C-alpha cells in the first residue's frame, strides 16, 4: 500500500525519505540487543549505542538534506503552502522517528540511569534541531552530519580551554541543551529565509567576443582527472581542517601534555577517531558524489578508458586517505609529543576503511548514504583483517597474511570499478559480489588458520 493513500502528501513524502534509515537503525539496535551476554557487553552494546547516536543525527540531517540530495528544494519552496507548515511537518515526522528510535535504544542497549537518559535526550535534541540547522548552513546532508558529530567536542575544547577546568556531565548537558535551543531558533529563521540558489545555467550561449572563440585550456588529461577527484573531496579537507584546529587547541589549552600516558591521552584518542571518520568520508565521497552532483554520465563519456579514470580515482582516494588520516595525525602527535605512535598497522587500518567505503560508494547515489552503510561494512572488513593478521604474540604483518588482505581489498576495488562504470544496480550482481568477497575472506582466514604462512 502506498503511503500517499493513508497519509497526507506532505507527511507521506517525509516518511518515505527517512523510512529506510530509520528501519535500518531499528534493525541494528534490535540485533545488538538480542546478542549473547559476552558478545553484547563487548560488541553489541557499544555498536548499538553508536548506531543510535549516529542514526539520530543522520535522520536530522536528511530531514532537510533530502531536498538538496534529490534537488527538490526549488519545488518544495515554490509550493502554495506556508513554509512554517512545511517545516512543522518535517519536525513532527522527524520527532516521531527520533522518539521511537530512542525508546528502542533505551530498552535495548542503554543502561537505565540518569546519565544515559541525558545522552539519549541530547541525541534527540541534536537530531531534531542541530543537524537540520548545520545541513542548511552547509547545504549538504553529509556535511551537516559530520559537523553535528564534531560540535560537542569542539564546544568542550573551547569551554575547557577558557575556564581551565573539566566540565561535569550536568554542565555539559545543560550547555548542549542551550545550544540545541539556539539551533532550533536558527533552523526556523534560516528555513523561513531559505533560497534555492542552484540553477541550470544558460540553455544556449553564443560567442560574442574573440575571447569566447579561443580554444579551451589544455593540459594533461590524467592530471586534470586528479584535480577533479580532489574537487570532490572538499568536505574531507574541511573535516581535516576542523580536526587539526581541534587537536592544536587541545594541546595549546593544556588538555593534553607530552607526559600523558597512552591510555589517558585524549589527543591520541581524538586523532584515532577523526582519522577513522576521515577515511570513511574520503571513500564515501569518491564515487557517490559524482552521482549526487549529476556529472556521472558525462564523466563516463570522456575519451579516456574507464580503467584509467578508475585508477586515478583510486590513487587519489587512497593517497588522500594516507595524507589526511595517517600523515597529518602523525605529524601532529609528533609535534605534541604524545605517547601514541602511528605506524604500518595504523595506516593499514585506514586503507581498509577507505577501501570498504569506496566499494559502498560505488553502489550509492549520495555520499551520506555511502557513509551510513560504510560503518557496519568497514567493521566487518576490519574484523577479517585483524583475524588474518592475528598471531599468538599479537598482530603481525607476515607476507602471506598481508598478501591475502591485499588480494581481498584488490577484489573489492575491482568490483567497485564494475559498479562505478555502470548505472545499473541489480540486486543479483550486488549479492554475487558480496558473497564472493565474503567467501574469499573466509577462505583466506581458513588457509592462514591451517598453517599457511
Residue 406 binned pLDDT confidence (cut-offs 50, 70, 90): confident
pLDDT for position 255: 55
Query: For residue 184, is it within any domain?
Result: yes
In a domain, 38, yes or no: yes
In a domain, 34, yes or no: yes
Report which of residues 374 and 203 the model is more confident about: 374
Residue 384, exposed/middle/buried by CB under 10 A (0-12, 13-18, 19+)?
buried
pLDDT of residue 259: 45
3-state secondary structure of 197: coil
Judge whether 355 lies within some domain. Answer: no
pTM value?
0.76
Question: pLDDT band for position 231 (50/70/90)?
Answer: confident
Question: Which pLDDT band holds residue 329 (cuts at 50, 70, 90)?
Answer: confident
Q: Is 4 helix (H, G, I), strand (E, B) or coil?
A: helix
What residues contact 355, with CB distance under 8 A and at least 6 apart? 283, 318, 381, 409, 412, 413
288-297 confidence digits (pLDDT tens) = 888 887 777 7
In this predicted structure, the answer to whether residue 258 has a pLDDT above a threshold of 50 is: no
**Residue scoring higher pLDDT (133 or 116):** 133
% of the chain residues with pLDDT over 70: 77
Question: How confident is the model over 439-452, as pLDDT tens digits?
Answer: 887 787 777 666 55
Please give the grid coordinates belonging to residue 276.
577513522
Asked which of 134-148, 155-169, 177-191, 351-365 is least confident by mean pLDDT, the reply is 155-169
Worst-scoring range by mean pLDDT, 26-40, 213-227, 245-259?
245-259
Q: What would the grid cell of residue 395 be?
A: 598482530
Per-residue model confidence as pLDDT tens digits over 296-328: 777 777 788 888 889 999 999 999 999 988 888
Q: Tell me whether residue 267 is in a domain.
A: no
Structurally, how many domains does the chain consist of?
1
More confident residue, 259 or 287: 287
Task: Say if 8 falls within a structural domain.
Answer: yes
Residue 378's pLDDT is 81
223 located within any domain: no
What is the predicted pLDDT for the residue at 313?
A: 92
Q: Which domain holds residue 102?
A: 1-196
- The mean pLDDT of the chain is 78
Q: Chain-centre distance of CA 356, in angstroms?
A: 12
Amino acid at each position: 500500500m502506498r503511503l500517499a493513500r493513508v497519509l497526507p502528501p506532505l507527511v507521506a513524502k517525509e516518511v518515505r525519505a527517512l523510512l529506510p534509515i530509520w528501519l535500518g537503525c531499528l534493525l541494528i539496535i534490535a540485533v545488538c540487543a538480542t546478542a549473547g551476554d559476552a558478545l553484547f557487553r563487548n560488541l553489541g552494546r557499544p555498536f548499538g549505542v553508536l548506531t543510535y547516536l549516529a542514526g539520530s543525527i543522520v535522520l536530522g540531517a536528511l530531514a532537510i538534506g533530502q531536498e538538496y540530495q534529490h534537488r527538490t528544494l526549488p519545488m518544495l519552496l515554490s509550493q502554495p503552502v506556508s513554509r512554517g507548515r512545511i517545516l512543522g511537518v518535517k519536525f513532527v515526522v522527524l520527532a516521531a522517528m527520533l522518539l521511537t528510535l530512542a525508546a528502542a535504544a533505551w530498552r535495548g542497549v542503554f543502561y537505565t540511569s540518569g546519565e544515559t537518559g541525558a545522552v539519549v535526550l541530547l541525541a534527540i535534541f541534536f537530531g531534531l534541531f542541530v543537524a537540520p540547522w548545520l545541513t542548511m548552513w552547509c547545504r549538504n546532508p553529509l556535511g551537516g552530519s559530520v559537523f553535528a558529530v564534531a560540535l560537542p567536542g569542539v564546544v568542550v575544547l573551547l569551554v575547557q580551554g577558557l575556564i581551565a577546568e573539566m566540565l561535569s556531565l550536568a554542565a555539559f548537558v545543560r550547555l548542549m541543551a542551550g545550544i540545541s535551543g539556539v539551533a532550533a531558533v536558527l533552523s526556523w529563521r534560516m528555513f523561513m529565509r531559505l533560497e534555492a540558489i542552484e540553477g541550470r545555467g544558460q540553455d544556449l550561449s553564443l560567442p560574442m567576443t574573440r575571447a569566447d572563440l579561443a580554444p579551451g585550456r589544455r593540459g594533461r588529461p590524467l592530471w586534470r582527472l586528479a584535480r577533479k577527484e580532489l574537487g570532490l573531496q572538499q568536505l574531507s579537507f574541511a573535516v581535516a581542517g576542523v580536526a587539526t584546529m581541534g587537536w592544536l587547541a587541545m594541546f595549546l589549552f593544556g588538555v593534553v601534555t607530552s607526559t600523558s600516558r597512552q591510555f589517558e591521552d585524549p589527543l591520541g584518542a581524538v586523532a584515532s577517531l577523526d582519522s577513522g571518520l576521515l577515511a570513511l568520508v574520503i571513500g564515501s565521497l569518491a564515487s557517490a558524489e559524482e552521482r549526487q552532483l549529476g556529472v556521472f554520465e558525462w564523466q563516463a563519456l570522456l575519451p579516456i578508458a574507464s580503467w584509467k579514470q578508475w585508477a586515478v580515482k583510486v590513487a587519489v582516494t587512497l593517497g588522500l586517505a594516507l595524507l589526511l588520516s595517517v600523515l597529518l595525525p602523525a605529524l601532529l602527535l609528533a609535534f605534541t609529543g604524545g605517547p601514541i605512535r602511528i605506524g604500518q598497522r595504523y595506516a593499514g587500518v585506514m586503507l581498509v576503511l577507505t577501501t570498504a567505503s569506496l566499494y559502498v560508494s560505488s553502489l550509492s547515489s549520495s555520499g551520506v548514504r555511502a557513509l551510513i552503510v560504510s560503518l557496519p561494512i568497514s567493521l566487518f572488513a576490519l574484523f577479517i583483517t585483524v583475524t588474518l593478521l592475528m598471531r599468538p604474540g599479537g598482530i603481525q604483518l607476515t607476507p602471506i597474511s598481508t598478501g591475502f588482505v591485499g588480494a581481498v581489498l584488490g577484489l573489492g576495488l575491482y568490483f567497485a570499478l564494475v559498479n562505478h562504470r555502470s548505472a545499473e544496480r541489480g540486486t543479483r550482481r550486488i549479492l554475487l559480489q558480496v558473497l564472493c568477497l565474503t567467501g574469499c575472506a573466509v577462505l583466506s582466514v581458513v588457509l592462514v588458520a591451517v598453517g599457511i604462512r
